[in-house]
Structure formats: C-alpha cells, structure tokens
Amino acid sequence: MIYILQQALNALQLGSIYALIALGYTMVYGILTMINFAHGDLFMVGAFFCFLIAVYLKLSFVPTLLLSMLGVASLGVIIERFAYKPLRNAPRVSAIITALGVGLFLENFTLALSPYPQHIPTLINSTTWNLGGVSVSSLQIIIIVLSLALMFILDFIVQRTKVGMAMRAISWDKTIVPLMGVPVNKIISLTFAIGTGLGGAAGVMYGLAYPVIDPYMGIMVGWKAFISAVVGGIGNIRGAMIGGFILGSVEIMVAAFLPSTYRDVVSFALLLILLIFRPYGILGKPHPQKV
Amino acid sequence: MNREILLSAKNLTVSYHSITAIQNVSFDIYEGEIVTLIGANGAGKSSTLKAISGLVTYTGNISFRGKELKNIPADIIVAMGIAQVPEGRGIFGNLTVMENLKLSTWQRKDKDKITLDYERVFSLFPRLSERKRQLGGMLSGGEQQMLAVARALMSDAHVLLLDEPSMGLSPVLVRDIFQILREINQAGKTILLVEQNANMSLHIASRGYVLETGRIVLAGTGKELMGNPRIKEAYLGG
Ligand SMILES: Nc1ncnc2c1ncn2[C@@H]1O[C@H](COP(=O)(O)OP(=O)(O)OP(=O)(O)O)[C@@H](O)[C@H]1O
Ligand SMILES: [Mg+2]
C-alpha cells in the first residue's frame, strides 16, 4: 500500500511534466492543425536555459523559471513566424518536415555549444519528509503544485478570457475570425508563446528533478508528451492534461512492477490499445472541435 | 443624388492563381443605402466581398470614406466600420451564442454602448436571447443566420456586407431576415447585400448591380432592374 502511494506520487510528478509539454502540442494543433515536432526540443532548450541562467546569472528558482519560460516562448514565437507561417497554406507534409528540421537544428545547435551533458545546480534546497513510510520531497511538491497552477491558469485563459475565445474560434474556422475584428496572427503568436512557454517550464522542472541534461533529452520525453496529447484527444486542452497524467501513471506503474526495460514498450502498447477503442482520444471528438 | 459616397470600388480584379474571379468591377455605395449585388453561382459575388473585407488580394482600388483600403489588415477594416456576414454564416460552433457575439466586439472599447447594443440585438432577435448559453453549433440554420447578423451589429460597423443571407432558409425565414435588414438599414446602417435571390433583394434595395462571370453587366435602381427583361428571365424566373 505504502509502495503504491509512493509510486502514485512519482506518477503525479512525471505526469504533470508530460501534461505541461502535451499542452504545447495540443494548443498548436488546435489552432493550426499542425503538429509542432520541434516542441520536445523546445522543452530541452528550456532545461538548458535553466542551466545557463542558474550558472551564469546565478538567479534563484523563480526568476530562473520565469526567464526560461520567457526565453522558450520567444523562441517559439520566432520559429512560428519564420519557419511555420510561410507554410501555412502549403501541403501539410511541408510543415511536418520543417518542424522536424527545426527540432534537429535545436538539438545540434545545443550540441555544438554543449558537447557534454550538463548538470543543473541545485536551485531548491529540497527537504524530504517521511509521511507514514511515503517519502515526499519539497521539490516534488513544488513541481506538482506549480504544474497544476500553470494548467489552471491556462484553462482559465482558454475558457474564460476573450483571448481564449479567439483561440477557440480560430480552432473552429480561422478564415472567419478576421471578420470579427480579431487579429488572427497575433493570437496564433500568443498561442505559440503560451504553448512553448509551458514546454519551457516543463524543461526547468524536469531539469530540477533529473539534473543531468543533454541536447537529446527532448526526443523521448517529447514523443511521450505527444502521445499524451493524442491519448487525451489532440486539440483538447483538458485532454492533454489527462493524457499526461495517464502516461505518467502507466510508466511509473509498469516500472514499479515489471523489469524497467519493459517500461516504454508496455506503456506504448497500452496507448495503442486505447486508441483502437477511442481513436480520437479520451476527450477528442471526430468533429473539428478543438482547443 | 448628392449624398456622400461611403464605399467605392474601382476596377476591382481578384484572381486565384490563374483563375480570374472578378474583373474590373466598379461600384459606389452611398451613405444609408441598401445596394444589392446579384449573380449566379460562381459569378464572383463572394470574391467581391472578400476583397472589401481584406481577405483576398486584388488589383484596383477600394475606398471607404475616401480612405484606401488596400493593404489594411482584415481586423482593422472591421474596426474602421465594415463588417461582413460571410457565406454559410460562419458561426463558431464550439462557442456559445453569447461568446460568438462577444468575440465580434473585439475592436470596441465603448463598454457602455456595448451593453446597450446587446440589449438592442436581443430585442431584435429574441430567439438568440433565449439561447445565449447554447453552443452556436446547436442552433438551427435560421437561428445561425440571425446570430451572424447579430454579430455584425455587435461589431458596431457602419456598413454591413451580407453574403447570401437567404441561403438554405425557408421563405418565411427569408422574409423575416429581410425585414430585419430593412429595419437595420432604417436605423442607419448601410448595407451591401449579395444574393442569388434577386426577387427579394431587389425589392428592398435602392440600387443593384448584376454580376456575370466576374463582370458587372447591368446596374440600376431596384425598380429598373426588376423591370428589365433580361433580369426577369435570368434571375426572377421569367
Ligand atoms: N479559393 C479559391 N481558389 C480558386 N478559385 C476560387 C476560389 N474561390 C473562388 N474561386 C473561383 O472564383 C470564381 C468566383 O467565385 P465566388 O465564390 O466569388 O462566386 P460567387 O458568386 O460567390 O458564387 P456562389 O453563388 O456559388 O457563392 C469561381 O469560378 C470560383 O470557382
Ligand atoms: Mg459566394
């Protein structure tokens, strides 16, 4: 029982990181019906920004987090503006190839600057409590609470604000939105900023939890977050959150009860099975109702 | 007529790659008018409205209150006072009725007047008032058309461009919508009404233009056009 509680806590931590990244995939898909395959690498860049800021600027956790998010968000906006926007009306495959190319560029650019794995310094002096046999660290709590807070803020923006309304309208039919007086390109930029900024936040938190970072760390995590988004129903924001937590739980549970090499194969297989029964994901709908 | 020209198109040409949709189209719309643009499928009616709204590129000129509209982004054109009710209504099915309306106030900052305008729109379309919280996608075709017109009103534009508002509606509903257009016009809005339903639109329009394969082939007052044998044969069912 205690073992299960312990694993549930770990699942919550991993799941919240997947969920944060999955949100970026789903927001961009929702608004542009495009998969930003560079998103996992933007997550990696977030971890590297965290490293750079912590080491060279010696800032504490909160400013490091905010600056890293801002840095990744700016990068996301620039990538959208110069790599994806010119292809908005091109065949879908061009945008996919471009996104993969941008991802490879980010990996190799980072590799060129940092050929060896880096170690993020301790930003949070984590204390660990023992609650009836379950060990809980303050770092874990911070990651989970912060991720949930970011998700609530995002959900509020999308469901309750005028900007969120515009995002949802664009996901329905972006050709009509300018007729409402809404500057579509600005909303798309903002969507990229928020989506990639959350990916950056995930990079920072992942880097705090697993402090050794390398330029390829975004590949596998990115794929898993992408699958989380698909499991939840790509384009659906709440779906991405649910998908992230499901994937995190499946992974942790499989690793807890089976040899650790089984982890990825079992979790991917479970997800494939889920998609057979719910091809549009848990909250997805066949209709283009997204975001 | 010595009224002010509000909206004017000169030698408007719209092409999609190699296809020319409209060619050298010119027209003037005066303050307070209802002008109708009639034409068969593919004549270029929607392309004309898209050019005005800044959704497609064109050669030639469009001016609004003497200001050249070319290169002005579509959202700013709405802010300047030109709203379009697009073909097929363009309701956001994933947004509620209220959200659809709210979105179209994007460019406005006059909070008090917005509140008044909601009241006005809901008294004009009581059905929408009853369905404020419903998703746009759940509305009937007629209700969606009303919502589309209501949205244009909420944007507080001075000129309304309507692209085939009668499409897919029963004759009774069409009559209702056209009656409302008339009321809106009497309350001060200038209207450019694109229609295939020439009978109804020529009735409420002060003037009309006839578009055939991308060119304007006839122009005149509503009455003149209704009496024109060519129009009678081609658009009014003989
Ligand atoms: N996006 C586009 N790409 C290529 N050709 C187009 C496009 N939109 C319209 N056309 C062509 O331009 C011409 C005019 O089309 P438009 O939609 O303006 O006509 P319309 O009068 O509104 O017709 P309808 O009554 O069917 O709505 C048609 O030949 C059409 O095929
Ligand atoms: Mg048309």
Residue A290 is predicted with a pLDDT of 41
* pLDDT recorded at residue A268: 83
**Contact A238/B at CB under 8 A:** no
- How far apart CA A149 and CA A48 sit, in angstroms, is 23
Strands (E) across chain A are located at 118-119, 128-131, 134-137, 212-213
Q: Looking at residue B234, what is its pLDDT?
A: 83
Cβ contacts (< 8 Å) between A165 and chain B: which residues?
95, 99, 102-103
Residue B96 sits at φ, ψ, to 5 deg, of: -70, 170
Whether B75 sits inside 8 A of A178 (CB atoms) is: yes
Among B90, B94, B107, beta carbon nearest to A176: B90
Using a CB-CB cut-off of 8 Å, the residues of chain A touching B84 are 179
| Mean pLDDT within B119-148 | 96
pLDDT for the residue numbered A289: 46
**Looking at the domain covering A2-277, what would its CATH class be?**
mainly alpha
Average pLDDT, chain B: 95
Smallest CA–CA distance from A178 into chain B, residue: B75
Tens digit of each residue's pLDDT (9 = 90 or more) over A26-75: 999 999 889 999 999 999 999 999 999 999 999 999 999 999 999 999 99
Q: What is the sign, positive or negative, of the torsion defined by CA atoms of B136, B137, B138, B144?
A: positive
Least confident of A269-278, B48-57, B96-105: A269-278
How confident is the model at residue B194, as a pLDDT? Answer: 97
Return the pLDDT at A287.
Answer: 58
Whether B73 sits inside 8 A of A169 (CB atoms) is no
B110 at A interface, C-beta within 8 A: no
Residue A165 C-alpha from the chain's centroid? 22
How far apart CA B125 and CA A188 sit, in angstroms, is: 33
A residues 248..287 contacting B (CB < 8 A): 287
CA A147 vs CA A8, A52, A155: distances in Å? 16, 22, 12
Q: Which of A272-276, B49-53, B108-112, B220-224 has the lowest mean pLDDT?
A: A272-276
Q: What domains does chain B contain, in order, with CATH numbers?
A: 1-81+159-166+190-238 (3.40.50.300)
Closest CA to A110 of A11, A5, A12, A213: A213
Give the model's confidence band at B197: pLDDT under 50 very low, under 70 low, under 90 confident, else very high.
confident
Q: What percent of chain A has pLDDT over 70?
A: 98
Give nearest CA residue, ligand 1 atom 2: B16
Say if residue B101's pLDDT is above 90: yes
Q: Exposed (0-12), middle (13-18) or buried (19+): which is A91, by Cβ within 10 Å?
A: exposed
pLDDT value of position B99 = 98
Return the pLDDT at B125: 95
What are the backbone dihedrals phi and psi of residue B26, each rounded to the nearest 5 degrees, phi first? -130, 140
Q: Which residues of chain A have a pLDDT value below 70? A: 286-291
**Chain A residues with CB inside 8 Å of B93's CB?**
172, 287, 289
Distance A87 CA to ligand 1 centre (A): 23
